[in-house]
Amino acid sequence: MSDRIVLAYSGGLDTSVCIGWLTEETGQEVVAVAVDVGQGGEDMELIRQRALDCGAVESVVVDAKDEFAEDFCLPALRANALYMDRYPLVSALSRPLIVRHLAEAAREHGATVVSHGCTGKGNDQVRFEVGIANLAPDLKVIAPVRDYAWTREKAIAYAEEKGLPINQSKKSPYSIDQNVWGRAVETGFLEDIWNGPIEDVYDYTADPTVQREADEVTISFEAGVPVAIDGTRVSVLEAIQQLNTRAGGQGVGRLDMVEDRLVGIKSREVYEAPGAIALITAHMELENVTIERELARYKRGVDQRWGELVYDGQWFSPLKRALDTFIDEAQSAVTGEIRMTLHGGRATVTGRRSGTSLYDFNLATYDEGDSFDQSQARGFIEIYGMSSKLAARRDELSTGRPSGARS
């Protein structure tokens, strides 16, 4: 058996022509690995056979939908992961899962090299290669599109020359990546950031401006894990799928943003993530009810850093693992139910209920039954403001004017 290359295979033009090209250029056999992360609309058996028809010596298809939901989407949910406070890490979550299966396939099939179809100006090249460096540092990496200027035109010409079973002679107006957590769309006319997205861009969501009846949903959580929808038990994958359908049907989860890529450029991206946005909205509100104030304040900073690390391809890093431990501990009391109305592109929380709630009606009410001793507030304010009061007095004595006064 000759040396082998494990290729992250999507079934599309670029990775399909990579199979024969890699074999010719390196003299090594290619094992194609396709990972099903709930991208939908694709027959994975057809993709497996296509890889063989394009020259792969082995073609592996992995059904990783539950693994993706449990091991990658759920941690992102518990971290309320929104890069730049908006993007729910669609592609960034799937890449480390694919890396995990590439490394396993390399061991199983005796490969010494892994390959991917990423360009040199995107984030995914970093996610793949940093992940491989963490899980299998002995493996080499080949990126034909980046390292050998493998253009789409060259790929089409190669496919036609070799008679490969790929029908791809016209350039799609968009570059699309999708999984069960969401869908990312870029390039084409969207690269002009003055152009507004048109309905043709969207697939996971309905037009939120169309009049329709609102949908009310109740999501139950146990220790930060969604476990039921409207009282019916669900897996994490089922929770995401059901809310993709229901929230997506109300136009929830559309995002149009210019984001900061790791490589230093800004990129315009259009996202759809109805299930992710609905779940994160509900989870954040349940945390507001159940997590103590100082822990909640600190966790918001942890959540932001967690999202940045994952976006930047550091899923397997020591800091990411340490933050996971903190987040796990912070979720211990995040149990209860959130009721939301899905309508007009928004997921609006309308009710909260939890056996571990820190909300005390008798302390919060201004009506009869108020148990808050307001007489204690005066002393609290005096002590709370003591340090800044002393500093203000010092500044006034030294400058002759109150602290903060205009010159």
Known catalytic residues?
Answer: 14, 95, 124, 175
Spatial neighbors of 383 by CB under 8 A, at least 6 apart, are none
CA distance 16 to 165: 9
Is there a binding annotation on residue 385?
Answer: no
Is there a binding annotation on residue 25?
Answer: no
Tokens linked to 209: 């401006």
The 111-115 sheet, strands edge to edge: 58-63, 29-36, 4-8, 111-115, 140-142
Is there a binding annotation on residue 124?
Answer: yes
CA distance 269 to 87: 10
Is there a binding annotation on residue 15?
Answer: yes
Is there a binding annotation on residue 14?
Answer: yes
The 346-353 sheet, strands edge to edge: 232-233, 225-229, 215-222, 336-343, 346-353
- Pairing of the two strands 29-36 and 4-8: parallel
CA 7 to chain centre: 23
Q: For 83, which DSSP code?
A: B
At residue 222's C-alpha, the angle toward residues 216 and 226, to 5°, is 45
At residue 76's C-alpha, the angle toward residues 259 and 125, to 5°, is 50
Tokens linked to 124: 């995914």
Tokens linked to 16: 């399909």
Residue 178 and residue 37 in contact, taking contact as beta carbons nearer than 8 Å:
no
Is there a binding annotation on residue 313?
Answer: no
- Pairing of the two strands 232-233 and 254-260: unpaired
CA distance 390 to 365: 34
CA distance 402 to 384: 19
Is there a binding annotation on residue 228?
Answer: no
At residue 290's C-alpha, the angle toward residues 285 and 294, to 5°, is 100
Is there a binding annotation on residue 8?
Answer: yes
The three-class DSSP label of residue 186 is strand
Is there a binding annotation on residue 202?
Answer: no
The three-class DSSP label of residue 347 is strand
Is there a binding annotation on residue 55?
Answer: no
Q: For 71, which DSSP code?
A: I
Is there a binding annotation on residue 11?
Answer: yes
Residue 92 and residue 127 in contact, taking contact as beta carbons nearer than 8 Å:
yes
Is there a binding annotation on residue 248?
Answer: no
Is there a binding annotation on residue 271?
Answer: yes
Residue 313 and residue 116 in contact, taking contact as beta carbons nearer than 8 Å:
no
Please enumerate, by residue number, every residue annotated as part of a binding site for L-citrulline: 87, 123, 127, 175, 259, 271
Please enumerate, by residue number, every residue annotated as part of a binding site: 8-16, 87, 117, 119, 123-124, 127, 175, 259, 271
Please enumerate, by residue number, every residue annotated as part of a binding site for L-aspartate: 119, 123-124
Please enumerate, by residue number, every residue annotated as part of a binding site for ATP: 8-16, 117
